[in-house]
Amino acid sequence: MTTSVLSNEEVNYYKENGYLLHKKQLFSPEKMSTLTNIFEEQLALKGSKLSDELDTPHFRDERLLEFLLSEEVLDLVEPVLGPNIGLWSSHFICKDAHVGRSTPWHEDSAYWNGRLSSFDKIVTVWLAIDRSSEENGCMRVIPGTHNNGFSDYEDVDARLNLFATQIKNVDESKAVYFELERGECSLHDSRIIHGAKANTSPYRRCGYTMRYFSTESKVYADKNPGFKIWLARGKDIAGSPFVNV
């Protein structure tokens, strides 16, 4: 038996709004220090890549599986996904001071369309490695948009943005900003409209996204060449190509 770290009220809030701020320390100070050191190593090895392009770092450094498959994180996501959990992906998203690019309005699910059978039970845990504020380009969401289906997109300048497309006609007046202290985290549904402004402040803003899905959803091996997923907890329900089954 696992202990739910979310109350029924918090779970209901997440399901209704598509997100939740978990303003508590996710890991111990020692584990956060170790995770930060791994990030700094990855950052030093990135070469010509921009700091916001450190995608699937756990493919390169499996020390990160200690965090991605940890009880601390799985106990957090189980109340919203259920007991059968797959590790979908992870990403260090670092917006450097003064020059960090904006993240256009998007739905994560739109970029994964066709790679999984369903998107209604995929959650991202966004862990603040640096303090994340409106000043340095924290994440922001449009509450309740996780039930709207796929949106229409338009092209944007990829030199200034993390992606080359953005959702059309987003009402930014409804945006909620995810301000987090180091070690705190948020959860959001893969279908919710979200993004972030550019970081024009003197403060770096780095987060580690840890993404999970219910194994009721099937990952299509032929649509994910070279991509690795782990069975994090429970059983493989739909028959996905987990590397550890």
Using 50, 70 and 90 to split pLDDT, how confident is the model at 2? low
Q: Is the pLDDT of residue 1 over 50?
A: no
Q: Which domains does the chain have, with CATH numbers?
A: 8-233 (2.60.120.620)
Helices 8-17, 71-81: inter-axial angle, 10-degree rounding: 70
**Cβ–Cβ under 8 Å, residues 239 and 218:** yes
Which pLDDT tens digit goes with each residue over 200-232? 999 999 999 999 999 999 999 999 999 999 999
Average pLDDT over every residue of 177-204? 96
- Per the CB < 8 A criterion, the answer to whether 188 and 141 are in contact is yes
Structure tokens at 217: 């959803």
pTM of the model: 0.93
pLDDT value of position 75: 97
* Residue 47, C-beta contacts closer than 8 angstroms, at least 6 positions apart: none
Q: What is the pLDDT of residue 139?
A: 96
Percent of the chain with pLDDT over 70: 96
Per-residue pLDDT averaged across 105-127, rounded?
95
User: Cα–Cα distance between 142 and 231 in angstroms, integer?
Assistant: 31
CA–CA distance from 81 to each of 31, 39, 76, 91, 120 (Å)?
Answer: 24, 27, 10, 20, 9
For residue 43, pLDDT over 80 is answered with yes
Q: What is the pLDDT of residue 156?
A: 84
Residue 45: band (very low, low, confident or very high) from pLDDT cuts 50, 70, 90: confident
| pLDDT score at 221 | 97
Confidence of residue 163 (pLDDT cuts 50, 70, 90): confident
Cβ–Cβ < 8 Å for 52, 159: no
Q: How far apart are CA 37 and CA 34, in angstroms?
A: 5
Classify burial at 29, counting beta carbons within 10 Å of its beta carbon; exposed 0-12, middle 13-18, buried 19 or more: exposed
Lowest-confidence region among 94-103, 104-113, 180-189? 94-103
Residues forming beta bridges with residue 165, ordered by sequence position: 155
User: What mean pLDDT is reported for the chain?
Assistant: 93
Residue 100 exposure: Cα atoms within 13 Å on the Cβ side? 26
**Element of type H or E holding 195:** strand 194-196
Q: For residues 106 and 93, what is the distance between their CA atoms, to the nearest angstrom? A: 15
